[in-house]
């Protein structure tokens, strides 16, 4: 017996929304649920419920339609019906996904984008006076489209990149456009739609770690459009919202059940994703660091907010590693982040996020500015007894002695060559002092063996010149790997470089002129010459008696 046809012809978006709401309540497993699925499927392929979207949101004179006009009201009613369909439970939605894509999204996509732009421009423009317009339909349709529709029609999303910019703009500025209840929840939904779906080309996060092969460049370009390429401003807005969530969570005694708990956690995750992958920044704003440390300070002692503190620590660690210099870490240390991280680390079961934050501080302690911000009695061996702490402590022990003379050395360098000193400070000074300390330490400990190798090479090589201009000792500072690659090169006696040292006659016992050229190796700059270092009185400092280190003029690269 054929199924009974409905006695009422359903054709409007309002009726479609009622059917979708009923299906959401009843489910699709029962007999009535299956009948509802069939009715919705037939209705979608008829295209009638969304005919009102075909009308242009702009009048013939180029001005936008009035928000209270019947045409606008009917179009926004179509948005509500589409929203109900996109928010169906997973099982019911899977039965209608293909029909929704073919019967609505592909057919009306350009009209959907046009009405989204109309609604968005109304919030952005104070001239139109729509501050009292409910933002819930626009937020719901945007988040639902990215959460459910991008998987079905990724090619249509790629064809209309402006939708990404609208999503990010609302996420960052919704509090500037509208007021009212539900603002924080709406902003959290926008953020999760971007991080969990928009930035992935397939619409879902299908990889554990970020890969540019999986990333959607339209999402990144949309973020740049929304902030007008003001990256530091973007982070200030992110942390402004995180601070607001934090203050409201704090007023609720940091209860995990408070809705702002999830909002704050998700916002911190978004900041970390942007700093690490999406919009790297050379130097994070000072107030951003201060607010993140404050979140750690308040939450680290509360058992209910412990995951918030750990997430904030991880976010700070990503910022410390992703920025171009050590200012973010120095500011964090001066704001008191170290005792907070140690307190979290000394709990019974510290998380990997806290271990990562403390390990990042340990490795970056090799830099002068970081070392000066740390306590003098700080020992990373006590915190990392398995070996990583010993390595970090070794870096600090090598670097610390030279920092006492940094000011004097800088004064002397500026007096000799102010232009070269300014260039060094601008380009490479932040890591130069530590590398110089590593070079001096290595040469002092291995001076005799290095000199023996020089003498042996000169004797064994028949092509060795009778006169030696200099011996270059290249020391590559690889702080991540934890060792120094040392190679010795004998300069040719025919070297015409005007900066070369005066030639000294080789007498067999190693009266040679030794220069050390320090290089910094990192993934951003490659091998960068920092400076030529003058080495004096190496014989006395190394305890040897066979040679004398000649004094050479310092050459600045």
Per the structure, the count of domains in the chain is 1
User: First-to-last CA distance in the chain?
Assistant: 91
Summarised one tens digit per residue, pLDDT across range 223-261 is 999 998 899 999 999 999 999 999 999 999 999 999 999
Say if 207 falls within a structural domain: no
Dig out the tokens for 334 from the structure: 């001066």
Say if 536 falls within a structural domain: yes
What's the gap between Cα 10 and its chain centre? 50
Say if 92 falls within a structural domain: no
In this predicted structure, the answer to whether residue 114 has a pLDDT above a threshold of 90 is yes
Dig out the tokens for 531 from the structure: 């400076």
Write the secondary structure of 155-216 as one string of H (helix), E (strand) and C (coil).
HHHHHCCHHHHHHHHHHHHHHHHCCCCCHHHHHHHHHHHHHHHHCECCCCCCCCCCCCCCEC
Say if 449 falls within a structural domain: yes
Say if 510 falls within a structural domain: yes
How does residue 422 score in pLDDT terms, banded at 50, 70 and 90?
Answer: low
Summarised one tens digit per residue, pLDDT across range 523-552 is 322 333 334 444 444 444 444 333 323 222
| CA pair distance 476, 521, nearest whole angstrom | 7
Say if 454 falls within a structural domain: yes
Say if 51 falls within a structural domain: no
Pick the closest to residue 82 from 99, 107, 96, 100 (CA basis): 100
| CA pair distance 287, 239, nearest whole angstrom | 9
133 in Cβ contact with 67 (< 8 Å): yes
Dig out the tokens for 140 from the structure: 């719901």
| CA pair distance 5, 32, nearest whole angstrom | 13
Dig out the tokens for 322 from the structure: 């992703």
Say if 233 falls within a structural domain: no
| The pLDDT of residue 318 | 95
| CA pair distance 118, 138, nearest whole angstrom | 10
DSSP string, 357-379: HHHHHHHHTTSHHHHHHS-TT--
Q: Is 41 exposed, middle or buried (0-12, 13-18, 19+ CB in 10 A)?
A: middle
In the three-class reduction of DSSP (H, G, I as helix; E, B as strand; rest coil), residue 486 is classed as strand
How does residue 404 score in pLDDT terms, banded at 50, 70 and 90?
Answer: very low
Domain of 477 in residue numbering reads as 430-542
Pairing state between β 514-522 and 471-478:
parallel
How does residue 267 score in pLDDT terms, banded at 50, 70 and 90?
Answer: very high
| CA pair distance 258, 123, nearest whole angstrom | 29
Q: Which of 133-142, 252-261, 301-310, 457-466 has the lowest mean pLDDT?
A: 457-466
Summarised one tens digit per residue, pLDDT across range 142-156 is 999 999 999 899 999
Q: Within 13 Å and on the Cβ side, how many CA atoms surround 389? A: 11
């Amino acid at each position: 017996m054929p199924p009974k046809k409905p006695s009422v012809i359903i054709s409007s978006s309002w009726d479609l929304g009622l059917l979708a709401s009923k299906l959401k309540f009843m489910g699709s497993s029962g007999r009535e649920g299956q009948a509802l699925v069939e009715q919705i499927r037939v209705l979608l392929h008829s295209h009638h419920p969304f005919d009102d979207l075909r009308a242009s949101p702009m009048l013939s004179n180029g001005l936008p339609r009035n928000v209270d006009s019947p045409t606008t009201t009917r179009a926004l009613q179509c948005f509500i019906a589409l929203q109900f369909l996109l928010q169906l439970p997973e099982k019911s939605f899977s039965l209608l996904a293909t029909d929704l894509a073919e019967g609505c999204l592909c057919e009306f996509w350009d009209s959907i984008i046009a009405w989204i732009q109309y609604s968005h421009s109304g919030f952005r423009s104070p001239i139109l006076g729509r501050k009292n317009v409910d933002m819930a339909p626009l937020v719901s349709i945007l988040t639902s489209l990215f959460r459910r529709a991008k998987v079905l029609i990724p090619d249509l999303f790629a064809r209309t990149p402006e939708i990404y910019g609208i999503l990010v703009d609302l996420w960052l500025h919704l509090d500037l456009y509208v007021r009212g209840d539900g603002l924080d929840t709406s902003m959290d939904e926008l953020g999760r739609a971007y991080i969990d779906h928009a930035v992935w080309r397939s619409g879902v996060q299908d990889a554990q770690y970020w890969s540019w092969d999986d990333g959607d460049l339209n999402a990144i370009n949309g973020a740049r459009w929304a902030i007008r390429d003001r990256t530091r401003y973007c982070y200030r807005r992110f942390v402004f919202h995180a601070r607001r969530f934090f203050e409201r969570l704090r007023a609720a005694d940091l209860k995990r059940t408070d809705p702002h708990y999830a909002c704050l956690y998700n916002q911190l995750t978004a900041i970390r994703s942007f700093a690490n992958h999406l919009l790297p920044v050379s130097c994070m704003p000072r107030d951003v660091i201060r607010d993140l440390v404050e979140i750690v300070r308040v939450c680290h002692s509360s058992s209910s907010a412990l995951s918030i503190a750990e997430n904030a620590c991880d976010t700070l660690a990503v910022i410390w590693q992703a920025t171009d210099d050590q200012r973010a870490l120095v500011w964090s240390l001066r704001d008191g982040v170290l005792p907070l991280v140690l307190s979290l680390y000394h709990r019974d079961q510290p998380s990997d996020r806290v271990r990562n934050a403390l390990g990042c501080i340990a490795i970056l302690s090799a830099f002068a500015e970081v070392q000066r911000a740390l306590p003098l009695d700080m020992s990373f061996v006590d915190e990392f007894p398995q070996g990583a702490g010993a390595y970090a402590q070794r870096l600090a022990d090598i670097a610390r002695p030279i920092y006492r003379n940094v000011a004097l050395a800088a004064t002397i360098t500026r007096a000799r060559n102010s232009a070269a000193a300014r260039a060094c400070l601008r380009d490479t000074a932040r890591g130069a002092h530590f590398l110089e300390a590593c070079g001096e330490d290595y040469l002092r400990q291995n001076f005799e063996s290095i000199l023996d190798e020089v003498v042996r090479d000169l004797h064994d090589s028949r092509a060795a010149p009778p006169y030696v201009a200099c011996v270059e000792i290249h020391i590559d500072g690889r702080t991540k790997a934890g060792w120094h690659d040392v190679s010795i090169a004998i300069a040719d006696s025919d070297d015409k470089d005007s900066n070369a040292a005066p030639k000294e006659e080789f007498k067999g016992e190693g009266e040679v002129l030794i220069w050390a050229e320090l290089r910094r190796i990192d993934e951003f700059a490659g091998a960068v010459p920092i400076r030529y270092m003058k080495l004096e009185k190496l014989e006395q400092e190394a305890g040897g008696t066979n040679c004398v280190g000649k004094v050479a003029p310092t050459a600045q690269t």
